[in-house]
Amino acid sequence: MPYVNIKITDENVSAEDKKALIEGATQLLQDVLGKNPATTVVVIDEVNTDNWGIGGEQVTHRRQRGQ
Amino acid sequence: MPYVNIKITDENVSAEDKKALIEGATQLLQDVLGKNPATTVVVIDEVNTDNWGIGGEQVTHRRQRGQ
Amino acid sequence: MPYVNIKITDENVSAEDKKALIEGATQLLQDVLGKNPATTVVVIDEVNTDNWGIGGEQVTHRRQRGQ
Amino acid sequence: MPYVNIKITDENVSAEDKKALIEGATQLLQDVLGKNPATTVVVIDEVNTDNWGIGGEQVTHRRQRGQ
Amino acid sequence: MPYVNIKITDENVSAEDKKALIEGATQLLQDVLGKNPATTVVVIDEVNTDNWGIGGEQVTHRRQRGQ
Amino acid sequence: MPYVNIKITDENVSAEDKKALIEGATQLLQDVLGKNPATTVVVIDEVNTDNWGIGGEQVTHRRQRGQ
């Protein structure tokens, strides 16, 4: 019954990548806590790099600096 | 003062549907807990079917299987 | 497959109230969008009135003012 | 280490505005709680006015009424 | 830079279990998307079974029915 | 109408600190985007250090290492 929300920047994440995240997160909850995969929900949010900040700086700027 | 977040897949949800969700959720909080509708906030997130998983499977695939 | 998160202040919300919120939100998604109740998830967060602000003011203070 | 999520309606918010929100929120956590800016994360979600309700009414309608 | 939020019911989850969830989720983001673990944040929310519903039913009741 | 969610570790955050976070976040949205404070909502979540991970490590362990 777990709910997992994964937030990442929207930098060319493929449908295959998302498939792997959904499978991996569902497996993790089963491995660690024995949760039934049938009712595990995973939602991936892709966030524009202008809208994500770390260290007080937009990711857009970090990318321009090569980070 | 409640805050309600509704996450659904982005499959042709109309503005009228969203209006009904907002009205219904606001009414529910008033009916059950007597919350003042004036300060009830409802936010609807529409999520791509590639980004939503249940049972370890992307909703995109479930739809292709007719589920 | 919807996911509904309801945030309310932790002011004597009974188990029966929570039951009614879960039933009502699940019904709303079925009524408006035809969503299957079996995979609708509802999570209720109860938040201390010190931790909730509206109008720049803690709810604790609003309650002391009779609001 | 704080995580701040800011949800606003998607009404012409510029990259500069977002930069100011990220800087301001990071500063606030440092000023009030002494949190290290290096590990403070800020994520801004822009929400369509059809998908945001307050007082049981879509923001789209409120805007049409001049609010 | 990812942010992962894991919501589970508060049913005797040990500190070791939480450690395993944090390590596993961080590893997953590195394996699938090459994300730097140093800036990956994982937050686990434990939710009372009265406050979690699926299929329109409180988890508390499901547990009483042996589910 | 903004909604701001601040997640921090539950390490002796006083009611006064929370008051300052609520006032500061509300002011920030008014300063940057001209948002009306009356409908700005701020919710603070305090998270146990066992339940928060960064760099694949629980904050509880980081604190023991003096970080």
Name the residue in chain D with its Cα closest to that of E38: D39
Q: Which residues contact F66 (CB under 8 A, 6 or more apart)?
A: none
What value of ipTM does the predicted structure carry? 0.97
Each of the 67 residues of chain E gets a pLDDT tens digit; together they read 899 999 999 999 999 999 999 999 999 999 999 999 999 999 999 999 999 999 999 999 999 998 8
- Would the CB atoms of E29 and A35 count as touching at under 8 Å? no
pLDDT for F4-22, tens place per residue? 999 999 999 999 999 999 9
Position E29, amino acid: L
Cβ separation of B55 and A38 shorter than 8 Å?
yes
Q: How far is CA B11 from the centre of its chain?
A: 12
- The pLDDT mean for chain C works out to 97
Chains meeting F at 3+ CB pairs closer than 8 A? B, C, D, E
Give the pLDDT confidence of B20-47 residue by residue, as tens digits.
999 999 999 999 999 999 999 999 999 9
E17, two tokens: 């279990």
Using DSSP's 3-state secondary structure scheme, residue A21 falls into helix
Does residue D37 sit at the B interface (CB-CB below 8 Å)? Answer: no
CA–CA distance, C62 with C5 (Å, rounded to integer): 24
A3 CA: distance to closest CA in chain D (Å) = 18
D37 in catalytic set? no
> Where do the domains of chain D lie, and which CATH numbers do they carry?
3-64 (3.30.429.10)
How many other CB atoms are found less than 10 A from the CB of residue F40? 23
Please report residues of D whose CB lies closer than 8 A to that of F33: 8, 13, 17, 21
To the nearest whole Å, the CA of E49 is away from the closest chain D CA by: 26
Confidence of residue F66 (pLDDT cuts 50, 70, 90): confident
